[in-house]
Each structure stands twice: as structure tokens, then as C-alpha cells.
Chains A and B, each alone.
Chain A
């Protein structure tokens, strides 16, 4: 592959590099005229040189996508412009040249990079102004140590080509089938990029796998697909996204994350998302957790216009455990509709959900959760806690947890609180000589601490700084 083309044109270059260059241009042009059609799905599959089963999967997904209505139970999606999805396969047209020009990146985003202390090269990448961040050396050494362990960590498109048996077994059938929801179906038809992680039985991956190291892969995409498989007794931590704002022209993201935690394995999935505020972030993330396995979700949802995100754990095996931790911040014009779903399908399963939200300047945060305990699942334990700080009276905080319990000896607890930052705590800090801004920041740090402490150090530092910035001007 020609490295210079890659650098210059980013991920489109990957497609342009494929033998059917003309077809891509054709697809793009056609798409702009006709919107979403089944022909475009077919051509995408052809351009990628995919096997028949994947092509069938895409076509089937597309049929489901067409048959399902846009969900109306959540945030208002009426402004969602499906036509913008046409941008998926971009021709190198004058009006839509990728990457974005650094000059086009809004000042507020540049300012945030500056204050977070993001290195120059990363800034350009995050702003979409460069698709490559030179971490090749680091990545190579990482890749070697992983390969030695038998761990597969690669991008999804390569996985389809190189590990068809594994991908075929797990891809969008048992965990998130295309029929799950409209956006999963859309994803199934148009998915591209994302990561594939396979950890063989008994292997404990010594360090977190970070997509950060893989920036030279087309990992960040509109429809990225992440597939993580931890075989029996394996352990892996996967970190996606970063706390710095990620500027993009795309108006919608419909990613799918599928995780399989086999017997006695342990998977931690950490994701910090900070899309620019024009983005509809509509993801489907789900894990199937087998006997005695542990699944941990750690998430931060910042940025974006509308977020609908409810990571789900299906506890299928006896003794399986799930932990969901999430921070959401909603500012002016933002709607964060997030939460967690846990299905206890086997005995002795347990789950813990902690959600911390902050809303301000008219932002809306909503916790929407579902807890289900099947009739034959005995001795199930679950605890849900959601707290919200509501900074001003323009903002809204809502909690809608659903608990559907069909087993007689489940122990289920749920607690929620909504309120302002405690005047007493602020007063105490200020009476000890700390100024108002600093006092507020300390209280907020304390509020989100249970989740931030689960993040790796560099993320925790950035997260704290970011929340501090978000809270600026909230005093008095």
C-alpha cells in the first residue's frame, strides 16, 4: 500500500487503493444522487472484496434497516438526516475532500486541545485533519509481544479477510444481530473499520489494548465494528476513544461493539467518547458473559448532540458478573440518553451499575436502564445507583430504570438522586480558604471519582481536566 497516499487522503485512500477505484467513485457519485440503496451496499462489499457470507449479511441487514421505523421512545431523532450517510463512501470530490483542513476546525476544539495539552500530531488526528499518528514503532513492538502470546489484535476489515472462521462464528449473530434495532441494522449494512481482538484460552494480556496505538488503522469511523473474544480463562482490557474532543463532519455514528467473555474470562471495555456537538451518537454495545466470567464496562460520554447508548450484559452462565460504570455530561443543546441493561439469565449471577451524570446550560441527561431476572435464575444480586448533578434550572435530569424480576430470591437494589451541588460542601471548602471555582471542581471530582479511579492514569487526568473545563463558569 502506498504510504503517501494513505497519509494524504486518509481512509478513503484505502478504498481508492483497491482495484475497483472507479467503482468507488461511481458508488460515491451515485450515492449522492440516490440516497441509500441496496446497490450501494452490494458495491461496498465488492469494493472491500468481502466473502459471500459477509455480503449476504450486509444485504440482509439492509432489508431489516428498511423495514424498521426510527425509534420514537427516546430522544427526538427527527432532525437525523439519513442522507448524510451517503458520505460513507466518499469520492474525492472538491466539496468533500478528506481530511478536514486544520483551519476549518472550530476554535473551541483547538482551544480544548491546547488546554488539555494534547500533542500536536494527535491534535490533527483528532480533528480529522490527519489520519495517521506516528505510533508505528510503539505499535510494532506491541504487536510483536501480542503475537507471541497468540493474541490477535487487528482491524476488522483485515480480520474478515484473515480470520474468516472466527469472524463468521461471532459477527452479528449471537450478540447483536442486525434485527436488534434500526441502527444495528444500518450498521450491519454499512459497517467499516473498527477492531478485532481475540485472546486465546488462559492468556492474560498484560497491558490494556488501546485503539490509540492503532490510529494508523481506519479505526475511527462512522460505523466501526468492534469484536472482542476472550476464550476460557483469558483476561483482557480494551480501551477505545479518548477524552479529547474528536472533530468530525459526519452527522451520525452507529457503532456496534460485540464482546464474548467465555467461561472464567475477564474483559474490561473502557470507552471515552467526546464527539463534536453536531453528532448523533447511536451505538449498540453488548457482551455475552458465560460461566464465572466477569465483564466490566467503563464509559464516559461527553460531547455529541444526541447520545443513545445502553451497554448491555447478557449473563448467560452461572456465576457470571457484570459491572457498568458511566459518566455523562450534557451541556447546552445536548441530550445524553444513556444507561445500562443487564439480563440475568442464569443462577448466581450478579451485577452492579453506577451512573454519574452532570447537566448544565439546558443540557438533558437521562438514565434509562433495564434489569431483567429470568424465572430460572436463582440467587441473583444486582445493585443500581444513579446520581445526577443538575447545575442550573434550564437543564433537565431524568431517570427511567425498568426492573423486571421473575425470580423469587433475587436481591435487587436501586437508588437514584438528583440535586444541585451541596451548598454545605461548597461552604465548607470555601470556609477553608478555597475559592468558589476550585471548591466546585473538588466537589465534582469527588462526585465522579468512583468511575474516574477505574480509568488508566492518563485518561483519568484528562477526564478530570475535561470535566473541570466543562464546569467552568458554573459557579454563582
Chain B
């Protein structure tokens, strides 16, 4: 096992390993600098230079290109235009770490104005750190279903760049192995008039840590973020989401729905900041938890920072046990106890899927996966 090396050195090694241009090295180094500014000088242990065996299977329709990062770098400047921009300082730690150290990954580019469709499944023995960059060209429209099924620990940096007027419906399903600790940091930058619907759901994983930053610096951009998961067994989910409104008339909605069973733990940190230069912005954050067991824990910290008077901003959260009345109703209609609980739980989780208006087929897949998960907590009588 390799020993400890300074983070900066590891970033330089990763960059020369991939034979990158200097601007990308600089992007990695600025990520290191920001991390160290936040957390002090850092070292990394066991860092391996390996492209891994990231297995990506895709099905696409419309003008979509899926490339490795190396290929994308040769093909043009689109990636440089986005990644070459200075960091905002708000990026999640996990994004910065994977950005500094990635040794493999993909670029998914969507162009044209006709609706495109992307199905992406990532599996196999990915490198310890990898990156996935999505580029949505101006005025493009895309529906993306990204599924990850890793049996090993992974650390991903994911970025979504939406051009002017781009529309993306993005559904991420993380169906990882029971023992895998999976960490992901995501940044989405929304250009003028663009619209992003982002739905994220976790099945599996031992410990799952996600950090999201939605940068709404394009005027009139709209962003909806939905999180839905059932945490069971000893699962530990930590989700932090940060919406940053820095242009006028931006709109954001966040909905977090979690059910906690077994001795699972869920921590939700939802932050919204509306800057002074973002009048006319509208935001709402909702976090709902359903507590299913004695030993599970739920911690919710919704935060609202409003630096402008011309806004509509709010957040709400609710933590509740299984609603007795609904259970009673179902049982009075002859539905067994476990089945009733299953139905209530499904109703609680499904509600988000419906709200997020994802495509019917993706909805079906997600519902089925969530049902399988729910059945492990409340098996049918």
C-alpha cells in the first residue's frame, strides 16, 4: 500500500498520469488550495494511480457523445470553458477532493435542440477517484438516467453544466453494494434560462455521503432537487445540498424525503443562499422524515440565508412516526399489518417520484427498486 503523500503532490501525479493540459492541472491545484484553506494542509494515504476498470454502459438517443476525459480533452474546448473557470469557493469538499485526484472518468455531452435521452450505468472496479462531467449545450433538452452499481468504495466528482436555455431531467439511482462506502460531490451550474430537475435516490451502500452545489448564476434559471431514500440496517446517509442564487429571477425547490428503519442514520443539511444581486428569486426547501424504528436517527438542518428583500423564501420540515390512522384504516379494510406499513411507506416515498415528473419508465424502475428495499423492512405477510 502506498504511504502518505501531500494532497498537492497526489493531484500533480494524477494530472501527469493522464497527460493533461496545464489548465486542468491548475483546476486540480485550485481545488487542493480551496480544500486546504478550509481544512488545513492535507495528506492522502493509499492513493493509487490507476485508471481502474470503470465499466460504463450506455444507451442514447439524439445528439449525445460519451467520451473518456482524455478523448474529450482532444476534441475541443467545451470542458475547458467550464472547468477552467475559477472555483466559487462553495463547492462541497468531496467534489473538490475527487476533482483534485480523479484518474478516470467520462464526459457526456448533449447537443442539438431535439430531445435527447441518455441511459448511463456505471459499475465495475472504478478508480479510487473518478469524475463524470455532463455538458448540456445551449437550448438542448435531455433526459438522463444515471445508475451506479458499485460493490467497492468509490469517490466521484460529478459536474452538470447547463448552457443557456438548456433543459435537463436528471435521475440518479445509486444501487451500490451493501458494504460499499460511496461518496459523491456534485456541482451543477445553471446558465441563463436553463432548467434542471434532479432526482436522486439511494438503494444500498453502507455509508453514503453526497454533497451537492447548485449554482444558479444564470438569470431566470430553475432548479428542482428531489431526494428520496429508505435508510435501513446500519446504513448511514449524509446529504448536504446547497442552492446558491446569484442572478435575478432564479427559482429553486428542494424536497428531501427519508424513511429511517433499523439503526440507520440520516443527516440532511439543506442550505439556500439568496444573494443581494438575485432579486425576484423564489426558493423553498422541504425535508420530511418518517421514523420507522427505535434505533434510527434523523438530523435535519435546513438553513436559509436571504440577503435580499425581493424574494419568496421558505422552508419546512416534518418528522413523524408511522401514521396510526392510516394504518388503522388499511387494517380495517383487511390489509395485514406488515402490508399496511409497506403501503404507507411506499406512499410516503412515491409521492416525491410523482412530484418530480420523471419519465414513466424511469419512474417504474425507481418504484420497483424502492419497493424491493421497503420489502426488506416490512416483508409481505
B301 and A419 within 8 A (CB): no
Q: Tell yes or no: A417 within 8 A of B by CB.
A: yes
Q: Which residue of A lies closest to B303 (CB)?
A: A400
| With known contacts A392-B309, A405-B299, A418-B314, A411–B320 Cβ distance under 8 A | yes
| With known contacts A405-B289, A405-B299, A418–B304 Cβ distance under 8 A | yes
A391 to B309, CA, bound (A): 6
Interface of chain A residues 386 through 418 with chain B (CB within 8 A)? 388, 390-418
Residue numbers in A under 8 Å from B299 (CB-CB): 402-405
A339 to B77, CA, bound (A): 50
Q: Tell yes or no: A375 within 8 A of B by CB.
A: yes
A408 to B290, CA, bound (A): 9
Residue numbers in B under 8 Å from A419 (CB-CB): 311-314
Q: Which of A397, A399, A411, A413 contacts B302 (CB 8 A)?
A: A399
A418 and B317 within 8 A (CB): no
Q: Which residue of B lies closest to A417 (CB)?
A: B314
A396 to B308, CA, bound (A): 7
The dominant DSSP class at the B interface is strand
| With known contacts A399-B302, A408-B293, A409-B291, A420–B310 Cβ distance under 8 A | yes
Interface residues contributed by chain B, number (CB under 8 Å): 34
A406 to B321, CA, bound (A): 11
Q: Which residue of A lies closest to B274 (CB)?
A: A418
B302 and A414 within 8 A (CB): yes
A396 to B305, CA, bound (A): 7
Q: Tell yes or no: B306 within 8 A of A by CB.
A: yes
A402 and B301 within 8 A (CB): yes
B166 to chain A, nearest CB (A): 29
A169 to B330, CA, bound (A): 54
Residue numbers in A under 8 Å from B293 (CB-CB): 408
Residue numbers in B under 8 Å from A390 (CB-CB): 306, 308-309, 311
A17 to B139, CA, bound (A): 82
B135 to chain A, nearest CB (A): 34
Residue numbers in A under 8 Å from B313 (CB-CB): 417-419
A417 to B293, CA, bound (A): 31
Residue numbers in A under 8 Å from B289 (CB-CB): 405
Q: Which of B276, B301, B308 contacts A401 (CB 8 A)?
A: B301
The contact size tier of chain A is 20 to 34
A3 to chain B, nearest CB (A): 53
Interface of chain B residues 305 through 337 with chain A (CB within 8 A)? 305-321
| With known contacts A412-B317, A412-B318, A406–B297 Cβ distance under 8 A | yes
B203 to chain A, nearest CB (A): 22
A391 to B306, CA, bound (A): 12
A92 to chain B, nearest CB (A): 48
Q: Mark B245-276, 1 if CB is under 8 A from A, else 0.
A: 00000000000000000000000000000001
B321 and A416 within 8 A (CB): no
A403 to B302, CA, bound (A): 9
A399 to B307, CA, bound (A): 12
Q: Which of A391, A400, A407, A414 contacts B317 (CB 8 A)?
A: A414
Q: Tell yes or no: B26 within 8 A of A by CB.
A: no
Q: Mark B270-303, 1 if CB is under 8 A from A, else 0.
A: 0000001001000000000101111111111111
Q: Which residue of B lies closest to A399 (CB)?
A: B304
B300 and A407 within 8 A (CB): no
A396 and B307 within 8 A (CB): yes
A409 to B294, CA, bound (A): 8
B301 and A400 within 8 A (CB): yes
Q: Which residue of A lies closest to B302 (CB)?
A: A401
A419 to B283, CA, bound (A): 11
A416 to B299, CA, bound (A): 17
A462 to chain B, nearest CB (A): 27
Q: Which residue of A lies closest to B311 (CB)?
A: A419
Residue numbers in B under 8 Å from A400 (CB-CB): 301, 303-304
A399 to B314, CA, bound (A): 9
Q: Which of A388, A403, A407, A413 contacts B301 (CB 8 A)?
A: A403
A454 to chain B, nearest CB (A): 24
Q: Which residue of A lies closest to B285 (CB)?
A: A416
A405 and B321 within 8 A (CB): no
Residue numbers in A under 8 Å from B279 (CB-CB): 393
B309 and A420 within 8 A (CB): yes
A391 to B308, CA, bound (A): 9
Residue numbers in A under 8 Å from B294 (CB-CB): 375, 407-408
A374 to chain B, nearest CB (A): 11
A269 to B363, CA, bound (A): 53
Residue numbers in B under 8 Å from A418 (CB-CB): 304, 306, 311, 313-314
Q: Which positions in B face A, CB cutoff 8 Å? A: 276, 279, 289, 291-321
Show 6 residue pairs from A and B whose CB-CB distance is below 8 angstroms, ordered by the A residue: A400-B301, A405-B319, A408-B293, A414-B302, A416-B316, A417-B314
Q: Which positions in A face B, CB cutoff 8 Å? A: 375, 388, 390-420
Given contacts A411-B321, A414-B315, 5 further A-B contacts (CB under 8 A): A392-B309, A412-B318, A414-B302, A415-B315, A420-B309
Across the A-B interface, give the 7 residue pairs with the lowest CB-CB distance, nearest first. Answer: A409-B321, A412-B319, A417-B314, A418-B313, A414-B317, A399-B304, A415-B316
